[in-house]
Structure 1
Amino acid sequence: MSHALAHVRDIFSFNSTLVRLGIEDLSNEDAVRRVRGGEGSSISFLVGHMASSRYGILKELGVTDENPFLELWGEQQGARDGADYPGIEDLARRWDALADLFDRTLAELGEDRLQGDTNLSVPNPRGTLLGALYFFLWHESYHVGQLGLLRTEWGYQPLQFRFYDFVKAREEEETAAVG
């Protein structure tokens, strides 16, 4: 696996973890709560939007699974009241399954495919699949930041501290397993 692909996978994996940590303690009410006087994004919208984007990448990579996020979040759909969004626990389960499929699919990419042309319509000066993946990393990371901001706005623990707690717990588990 190329260094570039390894880094791309690492950052997508990091984002997957941050999204999961960012939604697992939310109430359904707060998950669909919107900013800007009820006109802006909600956390559920952001997660569904990121998931739909990942399915767009998977389609380009030859995965034929149907995008279950397309109807509610795909094709440039804007945020809405979320009354028809799945509950946050269901959304979290769907995110976890997608994160696993996405990582396994990226792991199978060869260097020729990575440096080859892509049909993904995103700003991409390189014109390659790798260039498109760089754009999607930026795009997704931007939305992960929004998710973190909304969590804090709604009175939840800031995402960075949830991540610190997650890392600390994993280190303690590893130490206990060794010792």
Structure 2
Amino acid sequence: MFVACYHSKTQIMHSKKQLLAQYVLHCRWFVNVLEGFTDEETNERINADMNHVKYLAGHLLNAQYAFAQIAGITVTRKWDELFAGQGKSKARDNFPYPSIDEIKATWDQLYPVVKSALEKMPEEALQKELPASPVAGHGILDSTVGDLWAFLNLHQAYHIGQIGILRRGFKKDPMKYF
């Protein structure tokens, strides 16, 4: 018997400590999951219907800009047209993407700034309503900063997991958690 996963909308309280711990862990996983890939490998698809590692890494970087917005800081988006979310971009073959090292270096520059701003954010800010929240209106998440942050954390884990699967397709060791 199939049990539906959907439920009626309930008020969910967020713990900034837990959301921040997940955010920090995803940074470590981002570094770990890309370990050992050459720039050439990150442009290769192991299946024509799958994204390549470089697109996924750039897309993960692009989500960091959403975290910056949550934290209330303004940053200039790099390569937004290449890696934008919500169906606004897609992986391209034989395209002059930035190198994987450039993507990682941009992540390394952005991450500490965003992390610091998220740490300084008051707990009450998680309950702030975002009228144009992209995750609201589906009956699961609401339009609060906390729900958007929770979704973005899951988004990061999902795409890191995709790269983890690609690691195995390239005959690399599994990603290290720590």
TM-score, with structure 1 as normaliser: 0.80
State how far apart, in whole Å, the 1-side matches of 2:159 and 2:94 are: 17
Percent of pairs with identical residues: 23
Q: Between 120-129 and 71-80, report the one with greater CA deviation.
A: 120-129
Give the SS at the match of 1:91.
Answer: helix
Superposition RMSD in Å: 2.0
Give the SS at the match of 2:15.
Answer: helix
Superposed CA offset, 1:68-89 (max 9, x none): 1312111520111263211122
Is 1:154 matched with 2:154?
Answer: no
For residue 122 of structure 1, what is the aligned residue in structure 2? 135
Superposed CA offset, 1:132-178 (max 9, x none): 1111111111101001110111111111xx33xxx4xxxxxxxxxxx
| Contact 1:45/1:82 (8 A) holds in 2 | no
For residue 47 of structure 2, what is the aligned residue in structure 1? 36
State how far apart, in whole Å, the 2-side matches of 1:88 and 1:69 are: 13
Q: Between 95-104 and 5-14, report the one with greater CA deviation.
A: 95-104
Specify every segment of 5 or more residues in structure 1 that has no aligned partner in the other structure, as ranges: 168-179
State how many pairs are aligned. Answer: 160
Is 1:91 matched with 2:107?
Answer: no
Shift of 1:58: 1.5
State how far apart, in whole Å, the 1-side matches of 2:100 and 2:94 are: 11
Shift of 1:101: 2.0
Shift of 1:57: 3.1
Give the SS at the match of 2:40.
Answer: helix
| Contact 1:45/1:73 (8 A) holds in 2 | yes
Give the SS at the match of 1:135.
Answer: helix
| Contact 1:24/1:92 (8 A) holds in 2 | no
Specify every segment of 5 or more residues in structure 2 that has no aligned partner in the other structure, as ranges: 1-12
| Contact 1:13/1:99 (8 A) holds in 2 | no
For residue 81 of structure 1, what is the aligned residue in structure 2? 93
